[in-house]
A and B are shown apart, each in its own frame.
Chain A
Amino acid sequence: MNEATPLTLAALGGVVSERSGVVNIALEGMMLMSAFTGYVVAFQTHNLWLGVLAGVLTGVLIATLHAALSISLMVDQIVSGFVINILALGITGVFFKGFLQEASVAGPGVLPTWEIPLLSKIPVIGPILFIHQPITFAMLLAIVLIQFLLFYTVWGLRTRAVGEHPLAADTVGINVYLVRYVAVILSGGLAGLGGAYFSLQQIGQFLPNMTGGRGFIALAAMIFGKWKPLGAFYACLLFAGAEALSGRIQITGVHIPFQFLGMLPYLLTIIVVAGAMGRAVAPAADGKPYRKA
């Protein structure tokens, strides 16, 4: 569940953004930047919660940049996302060397573990669902919330419509740009929370490139989960399980090179994208800028 937390948050971000028709490969960069700013703010203020907030806001901010580039300026969405990823890697790397490398000895610690009274005493599922650190709880809530928002609310219907056929949405008076901005920014907030996980919940430190490509695995999970929040979560559990497994296997000394297990998420994604498990169909207008006549 812990490994799955940032993956799921980022994958949910991907689902929201792509359902509106904007490809978001910047999830990786958003998480990394958020992990960084979250840590810096928590370090300076000695308040982990302010750190988490800073992480979310960083995601929102970068998402706004991605939205402006890809929706308003119609920069290719992949290019925009790629630029953001490189930028995040560079900025966090430089500042880490400049300020954090020496200072990170006494960090702000990690978020506490919460135990929900009574519910956590339920055998088997109690500990799985009800004993966690805060960001993991937030992730579980986010799955339910996004599933509800996307498939049961007016906002969700409009968002999906815009991702499938923006011109049709426009002709019934829906503001395509607004819908896409909101979706991308929400996506950034989710990824930002996922980023905060690394530095504030997992290890209480910032390390260069600590997200290690999980933004991309999240995208894979999103595809694997057929652009559905719950589906993406299950995929994340699977990928996180593979990751955890590779750790365990090394300890037990079975001779499978750990790189092979590390490949598993990517391998599964290739199989899914190739259509082996029923075709995964992306929203029809995914990745296509909308230009008003």
Chain B
Amino acid sequence: MDLVIEWGQVHALLGENGAGKTTLMNVVYGLVRADGGEIVFDGNPAAIHGPTDAIRLGIGMVHQHFMLIPPLTVAENIILGHETVGPLSTVDVAKARQQVSALANRYRLEVDPAARVANLSVGMQQRVEILKTLYRGARLLIMDEPTAVLTPQEAQGLFEILRSLAKEGKAIIFITHKLGEVIDISDRITVMRHGKVVATTTPRESSPADLARLMVGRPVMLQVDKRPARPGKPVMELQQLVVEDDRRHTAVNGIELEVRSGEIVGIAGVEGNGQNELVEALVGLRQPRSGTILLNGRDVTRTSARTFISLGVGHIPADRHRMGIVMELSIADNLVLATYDRRPFASGIVRQLSAVWSYAKKLIKSFDIRAGSPGQPVGSLSGGNQQKVVAARELGRNPKVLIASQPTRGLDVGSIEFIHKQIVTQRDAGLGVLLVSSELDEVLSLADRVAVMYRGQIVGVLEGKDAERERIGLMMAGAA
């Protein structure tokens, strides 16, 4: 593939997950070896065999998962590998802090050089990452999905920083799969699909719909097609729910919420504001410290996950590899993970494998899981199809309420469309859905009501039609 980046521009690299954006940039940064082709930097062919070569050329990368060392200070993180050296090969901490402060002032990226990275917010950590590249004299900045972990306001702040860097003549490659921000931030856009460049354009010449079509290769529905909800009786009610995290800190702090049948309640919020703990409590995996969970009016607060399952709670977990599927088991076994021990899949202690098999075949068909046979290990499927297995299992047993946490994370647009459609169809059939997602777009397009979570509390509930991006964004940041 060919790609030309110019100085002084923000160049967006757009593509679905698995299109090869990150791999390409890892090649440029020297973390992955190219099988062929060449990289030309400043008019000269560049031999990049490792990050050291890339750094020397002036290439800096801000990775999607930050490359910071939490117990070390900001200054230590920034100078690591290019330390300020005093006598006896000691680290000159004072000089390092001074240099970091100077750099931070120059680019208006204020941080406290003496603070420990572990104590910083995600937005601040990203600043540290940017400073790290600038400290190394980066002129080409690669940002890999930089807004994935930011609130809308933090993202705007980042865009300003990137624009001012571009104005200074630096080149920025901005990797993303979010269409809106591409139009916002970039001077040029390159769209990738299956490892190839399918188009290079500018924001002025393109619309989100065009870009989506280029990304996926066919026209896509960007909005979920759904009728207004017709909510029935409450299926799940939370009263003053308090849940602690693994370190015994209060993660969910007195939540009151109800999910009625036939509606989708979205929980918006920046990751790490107690969503995971809330979800785990709502599926019986984590005992709340206090408060009550009612399922169809029945108190289930101190029961087991098994009780939740048998009372009709479905769960699509955020991390499918850790909690959603067992990679080594077959598709069929994964599809009956919650129901393997009851009729018709078992009688007494004996499993009824033929019943499992035909049930699996039925779900594979109705959920459009692309697989050779129900006996195939789930681990051999693509991410999108794995997630369809999880959705098929949870929706296939006709739950009363579905707790869906990041149900489309890491999926391609096609699979996202499919899973959204399934959730809406089941809602229309009377399912109550609690949708937890850090993708605000997903919450806004699916949910009938949006609850915003900040520091373990619901800071507001908005009806679908009142739910404006700006307002939710402010609430996510705790400002409203």
Contact = CB atoms under 8 A, between A and B. Distances in A.
Interface in B23-69: 26, 29, 31-32, 50-52, 55, 61, 63, 66-69
A171 interface: yes
Interface in B128-142: 132, 136
B69 A152 contact: no
B89 A153 contact: yes
B82 interface: yes
A165 B69 contact: yes
A284 B83 CA distance: 22
25 contacts: A153-B88, A153-B89, A154-B83, A154-B90, A155-B89, A156-B91, A157-B72, A157-B80, A160-B69, A164-B69, A164-B72, A165-B70, A168-B67, A169-B81, A171-B29, A171-B51, A171-B63, A171-B67, A172-B55, A172-B67, A172-B81, A172-B82, A173-B52, A174-B80, A293-B32
B71 interface: yes
Interface residues of A, number: 21
B63 to A, nearest CB: 7
A284 B70 CA distance: 9
A153 B91 contact: yes
A140 interface: no
B113 to A, nearest CB: 15
A169 B80 contact: yes
B102 interface: no
Contacts of B31: 170-171, 293
B85 interface: yes
Given A152-B90, A158-B80, A170 B70 contact: no
A106 B249 CA distance: 64
Nearest to A173: B52
A161 interface: yes
Contact of A172 (B51, B88, B89): B51
Given A157-B80, A164-B69, A172 B90 contact: no
B112 to A, nearest CB: 19
Contact of A157 (B26, B51, B61, B76): B76
A218 to B, nearest CB: 23
A167 interface: yes
Secondary structure dominating the interface of A: helix
A153 B90 contact: yes
Interface of B: 26, 29, 31-32, 50-52, 55, 61, 63, 66-72, 76, 80-83, 85, 88-91, 132, 136
A153 B136 CA distance: 20
A256 B368 CA distance: 72
A228 to B, nearest CB: 12
A157 B85 CA distance: 12
Nearest to A164: B69
A165 B76 contact: no
Interface in A114-155: 152-155
Pick from B67, B72, B80, B88 the residue with the most CB of A within 10 Å.
B80
Given A164-B72, A168-B66, 18 more contacts: A153-B91, A154-B83, A154-B85, A154-B89, A158-B80, A160-B72, A161-B69, A161-B80, A168-B80, A169-B80, A171-B29, A171-B31, A171-B51, A171-B61, A172-B67, A172-B81, A173-B55, A284-B70
Nearest to B54: A173
A170 B90 contact: no
A165 B67 contact: yes
A21 to B, nearest CB: 12
A64 B82 CA distance: 28
Contacts of A158: 80-81
Contacts of B69: 160-161, 164-165, 168-169
Given A155-B89, A161-B80, A172 B26 contact: no
B132 A172 contact: yes
Secondary structure dominating the interface of B: loop
Interface of A: 152-158, 160-161, 164-165, 167-174, 284, 293
A154 B67 contact: no
Contact of B72 (A153, A155, A161, A174): A161
A154 B81 CA distance: 9
- What 8 A-B pairs have minimum CB-CB distances, sorted nearest first? A172-B81, A173-B52, A168-B67, A154-B83, A164-B69, A171-B67, A165-B69, A152-B90
Contact of B91 (A154, A164, A168, A171): A154
Contacts of A157: 72, 76, 80, 83, 91
Nearest to A162: B69
A164 B71 contact: yes
A170 B83 CA distance: 15
B203 to A, nearest CB: 30
Contact of A167 (B55, B67, B70, B76): B67
Contact of A173 (B63, B72, B81): B81
A169 B83 CA distance: 13
A156 B91 CA distance: 9
Nearest to B76: A157
Pick from B50, B55, B67, B81 the residue with the most CB of A within 10 Å.
B81
B85 A173 contact: no
Contacts of B80: 157-158, 161, 168-169, 172, 174
Nearest to A174: B81
B244 to A, nearest CB: 16
Contacts of A167: 67
Contacts of A174: 80-81
B188 to A, nearest CB: 26
B67 A152 contact: no
Pick from A157, A172, A174 the residue with the most CB of B within 10 Å.
A172
B78 to A, nearest CB: 10
Contacts of B66: 168
A160 B73 CA distance: 12
Contacts of A164: 69-72
A160 B71 CA distance: 10
B125 to A, nearest CB: 12
Pick from B29, B61, B91 the residue with the most CB of A within 10 Å.
B91
Given A164-B69, A168-B67, A168-B69, A293 B90 contact: no
A165 B68 contact: yes
Contacts of B26: 293
B315 to A, nearest CB: 29
A263 to B, nearest CB: 30
Contacts of B83: 154, 157
A152 B83 CA distance: 12
B60 to A, nearest CB: 10
Nearest to B67: A168
